[in-house]
Every structure is written in structure tokens, then in C-alpha cells.
Amino acid sequence: SQQGEEDPQALSIQEGENATMNCSYKTSINNLQWYRQNSGRGLVHLILIRSNEREKHSGRLRVTLDTSKKSSSLLITASRAADTASYFCATDESGGSNYKLTFGKGTLLTVNP
Amino acid sequence: GEEVAQTPKHLVRGEGQKAKLYCAPIKGHSYVFWYQQVLKNEFKFLISFQNENVFDETGMPKERFSAKCLPNSPCSLEIQATKLEDSAVYFCASSQSSGSGRAERFFGPGTRLTVL
């Protein structure tokens, strides 16, 4: 399986609810990043968490990182219809070139009004 | 500029034809990356540059793909003799040269390549 696998593959919730997406990876990392892709558009960087950090917040986003389990979660609180998009985690692997930024397959989030 | 620019937005080629895609990174960014996204799924890393030098090309198909980043010119990704499986959206990204800023990639809107 791929480095950076998101779970679930698709998530549908009502506006105002919280959305949680998970990501697992295989190798040692320097950092883990979450990106959003609106349909037909490029990726937008949301948040970066370094390997020595456990939790990070940015507005309605909360990211956790557990390096012992090689997993991360992205929580979007009080979701809005505009949050509808695909969300990808991506890892900068430690050692050697850390410029590859390996992506997972993404979680498609649908927020219903 | 303040955004990564990619041209063209759409490109249609017959199988066997050449395709050339362009990317202008954000001014001041030293690193450029190319990714391929097939069917809205995962992003496959192709190649990265540090200024005009290839930094990592481990994702590039050896035979038909080539890329350049020359001074004072947009970066380019060229596919010789396109195949049906090359149909995808190709994204370019750039990042800053030092400090924590180099970790965040700024992505362009992509070029959709359709091979018929």
C-alpha cells in the first residue's frame, strides 16, 4: 500500500458537524502535511506538523501526529459546505532527499447544507 | 508572481504525439516539483529541481519524459510519443529555498492532458 493512506476514502456529514480524517504512513518522516483539493483545482496547503510535534491547530483545523503509530488525523470542526473537497496527507520522508512529498489517495469530504 | 502558473490548462494529443507543459514558479522560490494525478487519485511525484538543476528525478519514466528549468524561462515537462496512460492532470509546485518555508509546496492549477 501507499505511503500516506487516508481513511476513510469518503465522508459525508451535515453542516456544523465535525469531520475527522486519518492518515497512516510507513517510513520515518521529517513532517506531515495536509492539503485540500477542490474539484478541478490544484492543491492548497492547510497545515504542516513536524515529527517532534504531537498536535497543531489552525483556525477550525486540528492535526495530531503519532510517530509511534505512524499516523495522523485531521479534524475539521463546525464544518461548512465550503469545506467540501478532497483532503490529502503528504509526508516529507527523513533521510536522503526530503523533497519528494509523498501523497496518499485522499479522503473525499462532502458537507451537506 | 505570487502564484504558480501553469499553461496550457488543457492539452489534447493523439497517441504518439509530443506534449509540452509549462510552469512558472512563484518568484523567489528555488524548488520546483512536478506531480501527475490520474483520475483524481493519488499524486505521483515525477521530478524536482533546485533552480535549474535536477534535484530528484526518481519518479520520472525514463524513456519518454523529460523536464527542464532554465534561467529566465518557465520550467517545462515534455512527453515524447504520448501514450493513453499519460492522460492525467500534471501539477507543478514550488517552494522556498530555506528554513521551514521550503517544506510547504505551493501548487499551480494543473494542466489536464488527454491522450486520444
Local confidence pLDDT in tens for the 116 residues of chain B: 689 999 999 999 999 999 999 999 999 898 999 999 987 778 899 999 999 999 889 899 988 999 999 988 999 999 999 999 999 999 999 998 655 555 788 999 999 999 99
Nearest residue of B to residue A5 by CA position?
B42
Helix or strand or coil: residue B102? helix
Chain B nearest C-alpha distance from A97 (Å): 7
Measured at the CA of A78, the angle between CA A75 and CA A80, to 5 degrees, comes to 105
pLDDT band at A2 (very low <50, low <70, confident <90, very high): very low
Residues on chain A touching B54 (C-beta within 8 angstroms): none
Chain A nearest C-alpha distance from B109 (Å): 4
Between CA A69 and CA A72 the distance in angstroms is 9
Chain A nearest C-alpha distance from B94 (Å): 11
81-100 in B: which are within 8 Å (CB) of A?
91, 93, 100
pLDDT score at A1: 32
DSSP 8-class letter at B41: -
Residues A63-75: tens digit of each pLDDT: 999 999 999 999 9
**Cβ-based contacts under 8 A for chains A and B:** 59
